[in-house]
Amino acid sequence: MIFRFGFLAFVTVFLLNTNFNKVRAQEVKKNAVRIAADYVKVMDGESYINIKATSRVDKQNVVVPDIELIISNEIGDEEQELGKVKTNMQGISKFVLKSLSDIKPDTSNTYTIAVAFNGNDLYKRASKSVSFKDASITAKIVVEDSINYVSATLMDAVTGNPIQDQSLTVQVKRLFRPLMIGEEFNNTDEEGSIMVPVENDIPGIDGILTLEVVLKENEDYGTVKAALDAPIGVTFVHESTFDQRTMWSPRKKTPLFLLIVPNLITFGMWGFILYFIMKLFKISKS
């Protein structure tokens, strides 16, 4: 009798325990996803939303790769889906806005783009919206007293009004990071303009500098970037040995002395060897 009760108790505990495990498995804590979204507009180029998804797991910030994000245009209570993107292995994705005319602004000419994640087994649902107005930057080179200046004007693209007292960054495009020029903050005047001198000793391929004027992560307008090429740099002589015959070239571009001398020696040696072999034949015929 005692054994029966004991066995029953054991089985009950075992089954209950199994059941608890199931409950726990269903209640695995999902992590929250943080979505960062920024609007970027490149003048005479594309406009896009830069998105990055991260999460805090075990007290560490980790990127969230391979999740599907739904991009929508919000107008008041209405929402119109624009498309879907997936984050890459760095948790980053980019959604290109084909044309701003395809999306609708609200009454204050503000566009709102929502980025939504519907959640999965590991992460909770999350969303983030980014609002921006359409701004434009026009940039050109002007010369005053033999000094080259970048002259740029920031305007509201819808109203055509200049945007004043906003800081623009002027930089020269380089291979890894841009080279900042001028003051740290170049605030636009009442006409929305700035004038930044360009030093005359900046090197560029064929003397051409790619100058960029950037409105960075502005609360109202997002990031707006204008670029222009100007032949005002010091001509950079690209000292590539690619077409030359060097010690580090492929075999087709072996230095001539290394083609001539070792080959002469090699053919010389084998010439002698042939001579000796002929002598052997001669001995056998003598």
Binding residues for other proteins, rule: CB under 8 A, are 247-251, 254-255, 258-259, 262-263, 265-266, 269-270, 272-273, 276-277, 279-280, 282-286
**Residue 42 to residue 224: CA distance in whole angstroms:** 6
Nearer to other proteins, 23 or 256 (CB): 256
Fill in the amino acid letter for 18: T
**Residue 222 to residue 100: CA distance in whole angstroms:** 14
Q: How far is the CB of 267 from other proteins (least distance, A)?
A: 10
Nearer to other proteins, 160 or 250 (CB): 250
Q: How far is the CB of 147 from other proteins (least distance, A)?
A: 46
Place of tokens 């980025």: 115
Nearer to other proteins, 4 or 282 (CB): 282
Considering only CA atoms, which of 57, 89, 53, 80 is closest in space to residue 69? 53
Contact 134, 143 (CB under 8 A): no
β-strand pairing of 222-230 with 33-42: parallel
Nearer to other proteins, 185 or 272 (CB): 272
Q: How far is the CB of 240 from other proteins (least distance, A)?
A: 18
Q: How far is the CB of 273 from other proteins (least distance, A)?
A: 5
Residue 28 has which token pair?
A: 């695995």
Contact 192, 163 (CB under 8 A): yes
* C-alpha torsion sign, points 22, 27, 28, 33: positive
Q: How far is the CB of 183 from other proteins (least distance, A)?
A: 41
Nearer to other proteins, 10 or 270 (CB): 270
Nearer to other proteins, 205 or 274 (CB): 274
Q: How far is the CB of 255 from other proteins (least distance, A)?
A: 7
Residue 267 has which token pair?
A: 């053919």
Q: How far is the CB of 281 from other proteins (least distance, A)?
A: 8
**Residue 96 to residue 87: CA distance in whole angstroms:** 14
CA dihedral 100→104→105→111, nearest 10 degrees, is: -60
Nearer to other proteins, 26 or 284 (CB): 284
Residue 60 has which token pair?
A: 């560490």
Q: How far is the CB of 245 from other proteins (least distance, A)?
A: 10
**DSSP-based three-state secondary structure for 174:** coil
* C-alpha torsion sign, points 34, 87, 90, 42: negative
Residue 284 has which token pair?
A: 């056998």
Nearer to other proteins, 59 or 282 (CB): 282
